């Protein structure tokens, strides 16, 4: 196997920004920038200005949200792989086109540097059949590759590796990636055995602007009897539901946790009810819980969310010390609690760099 790359450029193309970070062999960030007002258009000048200031780039790793049924591990990018990724846009319309635009922008600047696509769905590819299969006609599942794909896999994979370092290998982990998008994963050792998101990133927890799980019959009722079009419903579920829909305003938990407004307090109650319920469901999928982890922007920076979630999970052995100052990866377990609880900094960039080095 080739020696590890000296510097990996990690590319994370989001819905509104393009994040670039250069990691050295020790996964230290040598340089980083964010291209704001990212439109997925011609941002090559911004990328070139950043790259020109770097000492070297030996390889590039791209975060891609959806790998579909076939792209299930990190893969060296070529035109065919790029087009296959683009062909999955219908499964992740908010994210996939931006990922492809990021590939195009960086490849225009670094055409001779090997690039690797790393997929958020890959970590969940080997979910047990009972966890990944929808109770739909078998021929439908096979014809359209209908299954629970799961997302945030790069973050959940990083959490699993950090838990092995912090608490020892082989643990039963519930990883809570809580940000504007949010998902849980039940992880045994380094293997995902269940997760809250499904065929698309709409499923599971209440999120900033996404509904999470709702009755499919409700969706059908809105289409057939509510006078709502498919396009209108898609926009509503993606952009105007979740916390933003419940509050009638902000979906940002920083604006919600200290509010005295009754509707806003109820929105937080709904969010926490779903979070606690799904943590318990993930625990059931593993027949127990050893480690609970909070990560992502909300998980790392909202102690009220962590404390109120833990308050409802004492029956799982969870008890946290809300007064522990969180600085990087931090254990917040009350001494003697049966389940250990950690806050882990979300580092998809580290996981991407690791995967790149296994391919190049």
Q: Which tokens go with 89?
A: 């846009």
Q: What is the CA radius of gyration of the chain?
A: 20
Nearest CA among 221, 217, 241, 343 for reference residue 292: 343
Selecting among 120, 194, 290, 329, the annotated active-site residue is: 120
Rounded (10°) CA dihedral 271, 275, 278, 279: -170
Active site residue 120: yes
Catalytic residues: 120
């Amino acid at each position: 196997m080739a020696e590890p790359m000296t510097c990996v450029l990690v590319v994370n193309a989001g819905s509104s920004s393009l994040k670039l970070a250069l990691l050295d062999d020790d996964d230290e960030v040598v340089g980083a920038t964010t291209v704001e007002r990212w439109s997925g258009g011609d941002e090559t000048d911004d990328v070139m200005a950043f790259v020109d200031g770097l000492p070297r780039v030996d390889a590039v790793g791209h975060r891609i949200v959806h790998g579909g049924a076939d792209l299930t591990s990190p893969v060296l990018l070529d035109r065919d792989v790029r087009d296959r990724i683009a062909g999955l846009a219908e499964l992740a319309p908010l994210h996939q086109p931006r990922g492809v635009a990021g590939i195009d922008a960086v490849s225009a600047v670094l055409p001779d540097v090997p690039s690797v696509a790393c997929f958020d769905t890959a970590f969940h590819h080997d979910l047990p059949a009972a966890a990944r299969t929808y109770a739909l006609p078998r021929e439908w599942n096979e014809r359209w590759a209908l299954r629970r794909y799961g997302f945030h896999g790069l973050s959940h994979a990083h959490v699993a590796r950090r838990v092995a370092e912090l608490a020892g290998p082989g643990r039963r982990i519930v990883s809570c990636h809580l940000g504007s998008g949010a998902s849980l994963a039940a992880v045994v050792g380094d293997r995902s055995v269940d997760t809250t998101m499904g065929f698309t990133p709409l499923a599971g927890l209440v999120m900033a602007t996404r509904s999470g799980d709702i009755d499919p019959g409700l969706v059908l009722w809105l289409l057939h009897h509510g006078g709502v079009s498919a396009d209108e419903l898609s926009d509503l579920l993606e952009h105007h539901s979740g916390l933003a829909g419940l509050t009638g305003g902000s979906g940002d938990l920083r604006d919600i946790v200290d509010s005295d407004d009754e509707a806003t307090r109820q929105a937080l109650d709904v969010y926490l009810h779903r979070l606690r319920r799904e943590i318990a469901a993930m625990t059931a999928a593993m027949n127990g819980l050893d480690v609970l982890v909070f990560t992502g922007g909300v998980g790392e920076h909202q102690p009220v969310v962590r404390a109120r979630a833990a308050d409802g999970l004492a029956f799982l052995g969870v008890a946290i010390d809300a007064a522990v100052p969180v600085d990087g990866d931090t254990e917040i377990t009350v001494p003697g609690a049966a389940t250990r609880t950690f806050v882990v900094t979300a580092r998809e960039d580290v996981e991407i760099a690791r995967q790149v080095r296994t391919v190049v």
